[in-house]
Amino acid sequence: MAETVQTDQLDNSDVVQRRTNWLRELTQHPAVSLTAILLLMWIILSRLSPYFFSLDNVLQITLQAAVVAMIAAGETFVILSGGIDLSVGSIFAMSAMTAGLVMQAKMPIPIVLAVGLLTGAVCGLANGWGVSKLQLPPFIVTLGTMSILRGFALLINKGIPIFGANPDFAFLGQGRVFDLIPVPSLVVLGVYILCWFILRQTPFGRFTYAVGSNPEAARLAGVGMSRQIISIYVLCGVLAGLAGMTEASRLSSAQPAGGVGLELDAIGAVVIGGTSLFGGEGNIVATLIGALMIATIRNGLNIVGIEAFWQNVVTGFIIILAVYLDRLRRLHGAA
Amino acid sequence: MDEKRAPLLEMRNISKSFFGVPVLQAINFDLYPGEVHVLLGENGAGKSTLMKILSAAYRLDSGQILIDGQEQHFKVPADAQTVGISTIYQHFNQCLDLTIAENIFLGRPPRTRFGLIDWRQMNRDAQAALSNVNTNLDARTRIGTLSIASRQVVEIVSAINRRTRILVMDEPTAALSEQEVKRLFELIRSLTERGVGVIYISHRMEELQSIGDRVTVLRDGRNTGTHKIAEMDLDSLVRLMIGRDLNQTNIAPLPDDMPETLRVENLTRKGKFQSVSFSVRQGEIVGISGLMGSGRTELAQSIFGVHPLTSGEIYIRGQRVNIRIPGDAVKLGIGFLTEDRLGDGLGASLSIRDNMSLPLWASGQEYVYGLFLNRRKERQLSNEYSRRLNVRATNMSMPVRYLSGGNQQKVVLAKWLIARCSILIVDEPTAGIDIGAKEEVHRLLINFTRQEGGTVIMISSDLPEILKLSDRILVMAKGHMVKELNRAEATEEIVMGYSLTSIKG
């Protein structure tokens, strides 16, 4: 008797829950409040400068955000799994350099791209191996590889940039679809749709959250830990490699010293997006908004004519403010 | 205790809900100076919520807190401390690398004229406070080097030093030896002689009579009444706690012709257990009994692939299998409910639903096109099982950390049932959950074996639980399987007797 009552209650609450859910989930979704803040920033900036809110400039912002956004997508997976990847800036340079070398050897574009992505994958493999097999803290492993890979990137061509991009290769970084939309922006869109889908609909995505929430529980539930962790770092490496080639293509040169400090922008974008640095909680769409926010600050302050050094100051404040707002939202949601 | 004196503390009509679920409903509670008032109740009855409201860790939804007849409006925990309320939690809030004196004066050390910390004064005052309670601890000892009992003494001394008038003690004897308990009780009495009121929370019913003056029993967030302890016996307290007499669960006898599902031969993990062999059948519940350190948990872990075996063979339905990692065991249809739910059973930040479906996905079942998650199936299964297991939650996408211990345990059970495991190893399945949830877990295990043809291997320190559920009982001692007992021949004394077997060599 008592059991039936309980059952009914649960049934009911379930129906009610589904009805109110979409609205609540929408307003509670971190990406929504972030988008609101981003739009607010755009409104303020367009007040300050007539040039800001033009189609051209908005596309420009997406282009400026592209490199950080690609890296931040991979970084989101790593941070969701409870790790961190500091080596993305170095992988970025490594991939650009290996791709540049292959291009110098007059190899066809698909091979150039494959080599660049493969370089990222191998670097990610090394990170994942160190984390899962050597059982070292991700911070340590990637701090080490950050330095190692930077060294290799410089050694490859004795520290000299590789110039002379193939015009076909330039399309990746400089091309515009319909003479309007920058190719890197479209690549970013594709990357995020794919990553969103992976996190939501595939076991790989689900295990990423599980590993970050409680690694021991994930292992005991039957998740293959080494495979999962290594795959996550490989994915992050591949995306860093993609970003490296995009930048090389945009600049028509591969810079062995490029991408220094990129990991901080990428981590900043992830954190602005509300992903917990402890792992297990977060959202990739919000990371994209975070990356757009960072690019907006850079672009907007430029257009408004504020000294470039202020960009760092404002970016820092935005990171702290965003995480604080997210904390308030969580507290509110829990009470 | 003198009833005519004015109460030190009155809590009137205290109510509190979480996520729309009422946790406390119009609770009245009072405390007189010099009294030990015991707070009793199952897990989730609302004891800790009530105490957290008193110490201002939670805000109350409605009701009043009066101290010396004055209504209080606490905003932050410091407000409660200011009026003399201190709480000593089961897990102490101490800085292990600091000395006793530094811990006692944490946050308000004595200062010299120049505003620097006056170390001499601090050590002298701390030493005086310590000798006041007749301990021979040195105030300059680092906390981290002390025993649990000594650290508790330091907590009490800190509380006295903060001029505490109301002291809340949460399970103070959980980790103490008998001797240490005696000393603690003396210390508590010396506090009450000075007029301090003590609120005492404990699950150890036996000790209540020797320390408590009055008892208040909470059940499902309601006050079932306050009584003088001298006028109550244990049975009536249990009845007040759970609201009824305990049910008798009956298990149908196991038919003789059930096929063997799991057999292990000569399992050895060096230093943990040696040459353990046994087999279990479909529909059967086999209990593994033994003292802590007998190797029972390690045995289960090794069968499940958590730690590698040194030697031995495992057969499932007659087939030799090789289990290297837990993932192998899960794919073979074995489930493992561990002792430490939050430590290794659940992802606290994940939703109830995501926790429930994890082993299903990890074992590779229910994919669409072999690649994608079948989220409709996931929703359907998780709803179905939370109904069947009576998981009390408002929302399946709620993080599992907001559930009570008993409901968390049901989520862990649900995840293995959803993954359709056929052999379930459960390690202390009802530890730390209340009597009601315990019965539900028992009913589930019986249902899983007798109705659905599953097999259960149950490790438990709770002998009545082992005796009630097990068709056979395997007794382990010092890493060896020393005895196999039938349901009919097992009693607590016999099982305990074999657990104490000493092994030579």
- The minimal CB distance from A206 to the residues B326, B361, B371 is found for B361
Q: What is the mean pLDDT of residues B91-110?
A: 86
Mutation pick from A17, A26, A220, A227 vs chain B, by most beta carbons of B within 10 Å, is: A220
- The minimal CB distance from B326 to the residues A10, A209, A222 is found for A222
Q: Find out whether A318 and A293 touch, Cβ atoms under 8 Å.
A: yes
CB atoms B336 and A220 under 8 Å: yes
Confidence of residue A28 (pLDDT cuts 50, 70, 90): low
Q: Find out whether B45 and B219 touch, Cβ atoms under 8 Å.
A: yes
**pLDDT value at A25 more than 80:** no
> Which chain A residues are within 8 Å of B358, Cβ to Cβ?
206, 210, 217-218, 221-223
Q: What is the pLDDT of residue A183?
A: 94
CB atoms B394 and A13 under 8 Å: yes
Query: Quick one: closest CA in A to B336, which residue?
Result: A220
HSE-up of A269 (CA within 13 Å, CB side)? 31
Q: What is the pLDDT of residue A3?
A: 35
Q: Find out whether B300 and B281 touch, Cβ atoms under 8 Å.
A: no
**CA dihedral angle for residue B52, residue B55, residue B61, residue B66, rounded to 10 degrees:** 130
- Which residues make beta-bridge pairs with B268? B311
**Cβ–Cβ pairs < 8 A, chains A and B:** 98
Structure tokens given for B370: 């072999």
Least confident of B58-62, B225-229, B299-303, B367-371: B367-371
Confidence of residue A23 (pLDDT cuts 50, 70, 90): low
Mutation pick from B60, B346, B349 vs chain A, by most beta carbons of A within 10 Å, is: B349
Q: What is the mean pLDDT of residues A130-141?
A: 95
Query: Quick one: closest CA in B to A20, which residue?
Result: B395
Q: Is A22 helix (H, G, I), strand (E, B) or coil?
A: helix
CB atoms A203 and B327 under 8 Å: no
**pLDDT value at A13 more than 50:** no
A109: left (phi over 0), alpha (psi -120 to 50) or beta: alpha
Structure tokens given for B301: 């872990």
Confidence of residue B270 (pLDDT cuts 50, 70, 90): very high
Residue B67: DSSP 8-state: E
CB under 8 Å to A15, separation ≥6 — which residues?
Answer: none
- The minimal CB distance from B350 to the residues A10, A220, A280 is found for A280
* Percent helix / strand / coil, chain A, rounded to 5: 80, 0, 20
CB atoms A213 and B349 under 8 Å: yes
Q: Find out whether B139 and B130 touch, Cβ atoms under 8 Å.
A: yes
Would strands B214-219 and B455-459 be described as parallel, antiparallel, or unpaired? unpaired
Structure tokens given for B360: 């299903």
How many Cβ atoms are within 10 Å of B235's Cβ, its own excluded? 10
Query: Quick one: closest CA in B to A217, which residue?
Result: B344
- The mean of the pLDDT values for chain B is 88
CB atoms A217 and B361 under 8 Å: no
Would you list which residues of chain B are within 8 Å, Cβ to Cβ, of chain A? Answer: 304, 306, 325-327, 329-331, 336, 338, 343-350, 354, 357-359, 361-363, 367, 371-373, 375, 383, 386-387, 390-392, 394-396, 402, 415, 419
- The minimal CB distance from A222 to the residues B346, B359, B390 is found for B359
- Who has greater pLDDT, B43 or B446? B446
Q: Find out whether A94 and A255 touch, Cβ atoms under 8 Å.
A: no
Name residues 223-262 of chain A within 8 A of B (Cβ).
Answer: 223-224
CB atoms A222 and B329 under 8 Å: yes
- The minimal CB distance from B372 to the residues A201, A216, A217 is found for A201
Looking at the complex, report in whole angstroms how far the Cα of residue A151 sits from the nearest Cα belonging to chain B: 37
How would DSSP label each residue in A301-323?
Answer: HHHHT--THHHHHHHHHHHHHHH
Looking at the complex, report in whole angstroms how far the Cα of residue A1 sits from the nearest Cα belonging to chain B: 13
Q: Would you call A8 an interface residue with chain B, using a CB distance cutoff of 8 Å?
A: no
**CA dihedral angle for residue B313, residue B318, residue B322, residue B327, rounded to 10 degrees:** -130
Q: State which H helix or E strand residue B39 sits in.
A: strand B36-40
Confidence of residue B244 (pLDDT cuts 50, 70, 90): low
Looking at the complex, report in whole angstroms how far the Cα of residue B379 sits from the nearest Cα belonging to chain A: 11
Q: What is the pLDDT of residue B360?
A: 94
CB atoms A217 and B345 under 8 Å: yes
Query: Quick one: closest CA in A to B379, which residue?
Result: A14
Summarize pLDDT for A146-170 with one digit per residue, the tens. Answer: 999 999 999 999 999 998 767 888 8
Looking at the complex, report in whole angstroms how far the Cα of residue A10 sits from the nearest Cα belonging to chain B: 7
Q: What is the pLDDT of residue B18?
A: 78
Rounded to whole angstroms, what are the CA distances from A273 to A28, A33, A292, B349? Answer: 13, 10, 11, 17
Q: What is the pLDDT of residue A8?
A: 36
HSE-up of B213 (CA within 13 Å, CB side)? 17
Query: Quick one: closest CA in B to A212, which residue?
Result: B347
> Which chain A residues are within 8 Å of B390, Cβ to Cβ?
3, 6-7
Q: What is the mean pLDDT of residues B157-177?
A: 85
**Alpha carbon distance A118, A241 (integer Å):** 8
Structure tokens given for B29: 């509670």
CB atoms B362 and A213 under 8 Å: no
> Which chain A residues are within 8 Å of B396, Cβ to Cβ?
14, 17
% of chain B with per-residue pLDDT over 90? 45
- The minimal CB distance from A221 to the residues B362, B375, B396 is found for B362
**Alpha carbon distance B187, A60 (integer Å):** 72
Structure tokens given for B37: 């008032």
**pLDDT value at B41 more than 50:** yes
- Who has greater pLDDT, B493 or B300? B300
Structure tokens given for A180: 């309007």
Mutation pick from A5, A19, A21, A213 vs chain B, by most beta carbons of B within 10 Å, is: A213
Structure tokens given for B483: 């005895």
> Which chain B residues are within 8 Å of A334, Cβ to Cβ?
402
How would DSSP label each residue in B459-492?
Answer: E-S-HHHHHHH-SEEEEEETTEEEEEEETTT--H
CA B476 to chain CA centroid, nearest Å = 24
**pLDDT value at B19 more than 80:** no
Q: Would you call A7 an interface residue with chain B, using a CB distance cutoff of 8 Å?
A: yes
